[in-house]
Structure 1
């Protein structure tokens, strides 16, 4: 991978800030390593800039999906960790798994992805929008955070709750769901990520860590 100065990373951010809904798709969000001049982690430089320009993230526009967010064709027959979690029915503290690959687009040209997993803990009236990363995935935690936060901003929350038959006062939380001892977990536990953690606190993003025992997935 090429190496960059602090200002070069900031220039990439400024250029990409014209459409914050696609920021998480930019290659530099997954850069690892440190700037050549200030020796700061790329992700920390990005996190500081986002903290100083936090209003831009909150300007990501909602997309109202006219079709239902709950797609009847999701039958759990595909083979993937996402579908396996859906088929097991629950994720302990995250509650009942309601859906997977929940669409956000209204029109084909909309710049919006899908929510990997939706779960609901009825005891605390909280629905979780989860961005699942496979065990061998090496994307940065910053990338995971920006992606699921973007999904939350795009989501028409009132219609989403209606489509899933959930109470209007249900709290909605957006969270990365990554493997215990995986790349993102190690990044958070072993790395110096002061500003990334501050950004996550500011955006109210809490990661959850998952393990697989035999064919069962659980939060640790």
Structure 2
């Protein structure tokens, strides 16, 4: 008798994201989905399921929030971790300190509506300031689990814990933050050698930061606990170093977008925060540094000629159709921005105008369209666009281009499908959306085809 294997059909990327958008309506169950557990590859773009799902989750962080309306009911049960009589647990609890905090003889079990076990944390630790309680899920290394599934499972369990029940068991009234760690046991110490250890991808690290979860390996033996931080990885900054750099360079805000650390993808060596998040938070509080820039460092140029000379095919095609919905009509002139010595810097910026209504209901919006440089990270592209807005003599420009004096001017950065840079921009967007909104800068994805527009 022949044996037949069931072959799962691969999803297309749009099918996968549509399924994810539906399933994320119940985020506590997301880790149970087949496409999260599998190592599949999309049928059309060849991206791994993990890569596709990660990109979507990082761009839609607000969907990963525990609310009363999107979460199942779970009951929290607190017990002593030492009841299991495990030698390993006895060793951890016996040393009293663990992971920079105090090891707690406390395990946490979660039960679903059928009184069946939904999740279990083997023990916990509290940082020495009493502000962060970390729950540890212990799994042997032989149990294989996709890292993305592990992180989503860990987050689902953590968010299902009732902090009031835990606080009562600890005799605590002061609030504390909850974090969760998947502690892999039984792994070979050889993984700490040069060839064996494989770290998580940067996007998985970002998701872990967003969710408050992480994956660690339990080590037993001699190890070092640094007294002072020493040297970071090459090119990696601490949070303080990053802020020191931007504070120093902010005396010349017009060149911030060119700085290496602004366009570098990475996380701080001490706090594990994405560079874009740390810099974005500082910049939103210091937007006034651009007020010192001299106005008028630009000139108007004939759009068609500028695009031919710069070999800007996208803008040339857009100009031929004369409009770019939903942002209105393409104006005849582009704007070319200049350096302090009035030399040309970068590509020309296309200008669009959209207007409607009369009198009190009149609306007039001018948008500057920018194509990012290939070396740009999202933050660098945003700072370039805002620098351009800051040096405009807006009243004079509107008058010269015969546009209504009440027009509002904003900037849009164009993204093209299928480019790695586009994926990178969308991953950083959650960290920079507040800064971009305050600066009047948005992203727009270039589409080509039929669409229903009003």
* Change beyond 3 A, Cα 1:110–1:14: farther
* 1:197 paired to 2:430: no
Deviation, structure 1 residue 42: 0.9
Give deviations 1:75-126, integer Å, cap 9, x for gaps. Answer: 3534322333233322111111115651233x87047746421111133421
Give unmatched runs, 5+ long, in structure 2.
1-233, 357-362
Give unmatched runs, 5+ long, in structure 1.
none
The TM-score normalised by the length of structure 2 is 0.41
1:95 paired residue number = 328
2:443 paired residue number = 207
* 1:127 paired to 2:358: no
- Higher CA-based Rg: 2
Count of aligned positions: 208
* Change beyond 3 A, Cα 1:111–1:208: same
Is the contact between residue 251 and residue 289 of structure 2 (CA under 8 Å) also seen in structure 1?
A: no
Give deviations 1:169-204, integer Å, cap 9, x for gaps. Answer: 22211221222454454345445733x111112222
Alignment counterpart, residue 109 of structure 1, candidates 341, 359, 363:
341
* Change beyond 3 A, Cα 1:58–1:111: farther
Is the contact between residue 86 and residue 117 of structure 1 (CA under 8 Å) also seen in structure 2?
A: no
* Change beyond 3 A, Cα 1:30–1:180: same
* 1:158 paired to 2:391: no
The TM-score normalised by the length of structure 1 is 0.79
Distance 2:249 2:397 in 1: 29
Deviation, structure 1 residue 150: 0.7
Is the contact between residue 382 and residue 441 of structure 2 (CA under 8 Å) also seen in structure 1?
A: yes
Distance 2:415 2:429 in 1: 19
Superposition RMSD in Å: 2.9
Distance 2:244 2:343 in 1: 23
Matches within 5 A, 1:29-178: 29-63=262-296, 69-72=299-302, 74-75=304-305, 76-78=307-309, 79-80=311-312, 81-99=314-332, 101-105=334-338, 109-110=341-342, 113=345, 115-123=348-356, 124-133=363-372, 137=374, 139-178=376-415
Is the contact between residue 99 and residue 119 of structure 1 (CA under 8 Å) also seen in structure 2?
A: no
The worse-fitting range, judged by mean Cα deviation, of 10-19 and 48-57 is 48-57
Distance 1:169 1:10 in 2: 37
Deviation, structure 1 residue 212: 4.1
* Change beyond 3 A, Cα 1:83–1:34: same
SS at match of 2:442: coil
